[in-house]
A and B are shown apart, each in its own frame.
Chain A
Amino acid sequence: MAEPARPTRGYSVRTLPGFAIVALFTFVALYAPIAILVVFSFNAGTSLAIWEGFSLRWYVQAAQNEQVLDAGLRSLYLAGFSASIATVAATMAALATTRTRRFPGRTMIYALINQPLMVPEIVTAVALLIVFAAVKVWTGHTSMIYLIAAHTAFCVPFAYLPIRARLETMDNTLEVAARDLYAPPWKVFTRVTLPLMWPGIIAGLMLAFVISMDDVVITEFVKSAGQDTLPTYMLGQLRRVVTPEINAISTVILVVGAILVSLFFALTMRRR
């Protein structure tokens, strides 16, 4: 019996020997630790490495832990506020800096917007600690305003990125066409520019939200007593005996993050 013709593996210039194996190993290595972390969040025992049966006890324990709930809510509240303010500011800045010739000060605006990305987080954190410590002593005021201000500042460049990208791929003539069809500038913005840049704005908002939710360093240095967010709470707990409760909290954070990132991905890829 003749064998059916097998597909030929021809010579392809796109193949480089060994690259695929390294790549697949990388993907496995990237996900394995996270997978193990998630698996042991369901462990019935207290071990992080020996499986003792399935249980939701650590989720229950986390859900009943006042400190966790408090920190979680604070994280959401902080990220929601900061990301929203940052996105509005970033949207305006993106409108100001894209689709134009070089104008006096444009480079400076660019540099300033991206400045938080250029400086190591620990440096910004320490600098804010110095300033806010003085302000806190001076005013005696220790509300969340410091955290919101700090988070807003480092969220702006992240919100700015996808919005700017969106604007740059947008067809300039659409707005010109709207003007040509008797739309005054404000109507051009609400009827054409805004609807078209909307996916970019949402993407920017989600990115900023995720970045704010994830932040440890700046929060750790800026927070006043009793202002733990979920990440700083977890960082504090790591010094103690670690139980799968940390895994349960981590898993929740992972799931929320993954959902946001998937949405972000869907929004930024759709225009292709």
Chain B
Amino acid sequence: MTDAISEAPRALEREAEKNDIRTRWLLATPAIVIIFLFATAPLFVMVVYSFLAPGDYGNVKWEFSLDGWTNVLVQRDIFDDTLMWADAHLSIFWRSLSLSVITTFLTLVFGVPTAWFIATQPPGRREVWLFLITVPFWTNLLVRTIAIQELIRAEGVINNTLLFVGLINAPIQMMFTDFAIAFGMTYVYLPLMVLPVYAAVEKLDFRLVEAAHDLYAGRWVAFRRVILPLIKPGIIAGSILVFIPSLGAYVTPRVLGGGKNLMFGNLIELQFGAGRNWPLGAALSLMLMAAVMVSLIYYVRVTSREQSDG
């Protein structure tokens, strides 16, 4: 018969903990392997590719080259071989950034009141409204983009209606504009704003709002001084959730922006298609990834600062 008292202190605990951690690692292994092989490792391969030379018909030549990275900002003139700024790239970066900010802003304008409205409904009805916002969230993104496309086409419902009513004489060109992209992205990403803001409002202790009113705050002051600070984490989360996919959007700008109004995602695709410059495409992808990471880190820092202030 063994007697635990004679063993080293905490031997049983150490053994139990070791077993527990080993089991946990074993359980996590399949997920880790799948994601590492088919999501993480390819990113590292891409880093390598960004330092290779482009192949003549796509793909790469296995020789070291910094062209992938320099081509992001400068390009060589075909005729006199001088270096010049890659204006097209710069304007695409700018369009991506500004359209993402506009989209985030628009989803805020429509999303926050909607989230508030849902969260302040009586419990039974609240679930119905929440359901109504969730359905488009999981509805096919391409289908929803097609719905917008059909709405704003030259011969689409909006133009037809306006023509019919007589407000306009000729169809308004909405397709293949920056407006179309911002409109479409706001439409498809709106639920991503509503859900986290809703979660924050639902958690809000309304007695605090009552306390603010009790202490002579009007609705607006109570909103600005009490409600807004309390639901800020939800608003920040919603903004990240909208901003990040907007920055990397591919389908919506492709369908609604057409061949001219490219965003970052479409520029990347171009390098693997007609552009036949894989290293540049890889470099652009890594830049996009870095931009997303920076915005994530920025927001994390903002939120943690908020929390330590409060």
Q: Which residues of A contact B38 (CB under 8 A)?
A: 128, 149-150, 152-153
> Within the complex, what minimum Cβ distance (angstroms) separates B300 from chain A?
12
Residue contact A104 to B21, C-beta cutoff 8 Å: yes
Whether a CB of chain A sits under 8 angstroms from the CB of B225 is no
Q: Which residues of A contact B94 (CB under 8 A)?
A: none
Could you say which of A34-42, A62-70, A172-180 contacts chain B? Answer: A34-42
Q: With A26-B114, A122-B268, A122-B288 in contact, is A154–B24 under 8 Å at CB? A: no
Could you say which of B8-16, B84-92, B248-256 contacts chain A? Answer: B248-256
Residue contact A23 to B114, C-beta cutoff 8 Å: yes
Residue contact A23 to B27, C-beta cutoff 8 Å: no
Q: Which residues of B contact A216 (CB under 8 A)?
A: 141-142, 250-251
In the assembly, what is the distance between CA of A14 and CA of B207, in Å?
10
**Which of B25, B35, B190, B248 is the one whose CB lies under 8 Å from A120?**
B248
Could you say which of A2-10, A88-96, A190-198 contacts chain B? Answer: A88-96
| Contact size range, B | 35 or more
Whether a CB of chain B sits under 8 angstroms from the CB of A48 is yes
Q: Which residues of B contact A40 (CB under 8 A)?
A: 150
Residue contact B37 to A120, C-beta cutoff 8 Å: no
In the assembly, what is the distance between CA of A126 and CA of B251, in Å?
14
Whether a CB of chain A sits under 8 angstroms from the CB of B135 is yes
Whether a CB of chain B sits under 8 angstroms from the CB of A27 is yes
In the assembly, what is the distance between CA of A85 and CA of B134, in Å?
25
> Within the complex, what minimum Cβ distance (angstroms) separates B37 from chain A?
7
**Which of A36, A109, A125, A246 is the one whose CB lies under 8 Å from B157?**
A36
**Chain A residue nearest in CB terms to B285:** A123
Q: Which residues of A contact B111 (CB under 8 A)?
A: 26
Residue contact A22 to B142, C-beta cutoff 8 Å: no
In the assembly, what is the distance between CA of A65 and CA of B132, in Å?
33
The interface residues of chain A, by DSSP majority, are classed as helix
Which residue, B27, B42, B135, has most C-beta atoms of chain A within 10 A?
A: B42
Q: Which residues of B contact A182 (CB under 8 A)?
A: none
Q: Which residues of B contact A119 (CB under 8 A)?
A: 39, 43, 289, 292
In the assembly, what is the distance between CA of A96 and CA of B79, in Å?
61
In the assembly, what is the distance between CA of A34 and CA of B148, in Å?
8
Q: With A116-B35, A126-B268, A214-B140 in contact, is A30–B45 under 8 Å at CB? A: no
> Within the complex, what minimum Cβ distance (angstroms) separates B221 from chain A?
12
What sequence of 0s and 1s flags, for each residue 90-122 of chain A, a beta carbon within 8 Å of any chain B beta carbon?
A: 101101110010011110010011011011111
Q: Which residues of A contact B127 (CB under 8 A)?
A: 269
In the assembly, what is the distance between CA of A210 and CA of B137, in Å?
11
Q: Which residues of B contact A13 (CB under 8 A)?
A: 206, 209-210, 213, 222
Q: With A33-B148, A127-B42, A133-B59 in contact, is A221–B142 under 8 Å at CB? A: no
Whether a CB of chain B sits under 8 angstroms from the CB of A225 is no
What sequence of 0s and 1s flags, for each residue 114-133 of chain B, a beta carbon within 8 Å of any chain A beta carbon?
A: 10111010000001010111
In the assembly, what is the distance between CA of A47 and CA of B59, in Å?
42
In the assembly, what is the distance between CA of A23 and CA of B198, in Å?
12
Whether a CB of chain A sits under 8 angstroms from the CB of B149 is yes
Q: Which residues of A contact B298 (CB under 8 A)?
A: none
In the assembly, what is the distance between CA of A128 and CA of B150, in Å?
32
Whether a CB of chain B sits under 8 angstroms from the CB of A73 is no
> Within the complex, what minimum Cβ distance (angstroms) separates A110 from chain B?
10
Q: With A14-B206, A105-B25 in contact, is A121–B250 under 8 Å at CB? A: yes
Whether a CB of chain B sits under 8 angstroms from the CB of A45 is no
Residue contact B21 to A103, C-beta cutoff 8 Å: yes
Whether a CB of chain A sits under 8 angstroms from the CB of B247 is yes
**Which of A23, A29, A133, A213 is the one whose CB lies under 8 Å from B117?**
A23
Whether a CB of chain A sits under 8 angstroms from the CB of B144 is yes
**Chain B residue nearest in CB terms to A131:** B42
**Residues of B157-171 whose CB lies within 8 A of A:** 157, 159-160
**Which of A27, A95, A125, A254 is the one whose CB lies under 8 Å from B114?**
A27
Q: With A93-B28, A109-B32, A235-B142 in contact, is A16–B223 under 8 Å at CB? A: yes
Q: Which residues of A contact B139 (CB under 8 A)?
A: 34, 214, 254, 257-258, 261
Q: Which residues of A contact B264 (CB under 8 A)?
A: 122
Whether a CB of chain B sits under 8 angstroms from the CB of A156 is yes
> Within the complex, what minimum Cβ distance (angstroms) separates A67 from chain B?
16
Whether a CB of chain B sits under 8 angstroms from the CB of A129 is yes
In the assembly, what is the distance between CA of A214 and CA of B35, in Å?
19
Residue contact B42 to A128, C-beta cutoff 8 Å: yes
Chain B contact residues, CB within 8 Å of chain A: 20-21, 23-32, 34-43, 45-46, 49, 59, 109-111, 113-114, 116-118, 120, 127, 129, 131-136, 138-144, 146-151, 153, 155-157, 159-160, 187, 190, 206, 209-210, 213, 219, 222-223, 244-245, 247-248, 250-251, 254-255, 264-265, 268-269, 272, 278, 281-282, 285-286, 288-289, 292-293, 296
Apart from A126-B269, A131-B42: 9 A-B pairs, beta carbons within 8 A: A13-B210, A19-B113, A49-B160, A92-B29, A112-B40, A130-B46, A217-B251, A258-B139, A261-B134
Closest A-B pairs by Cβ, 10 of them? A120-B248, A23-B117, A127-B42, A153-B38, A96-B27, A93-B31, A33-B147, A22-B113, A19-B113, A96-B28
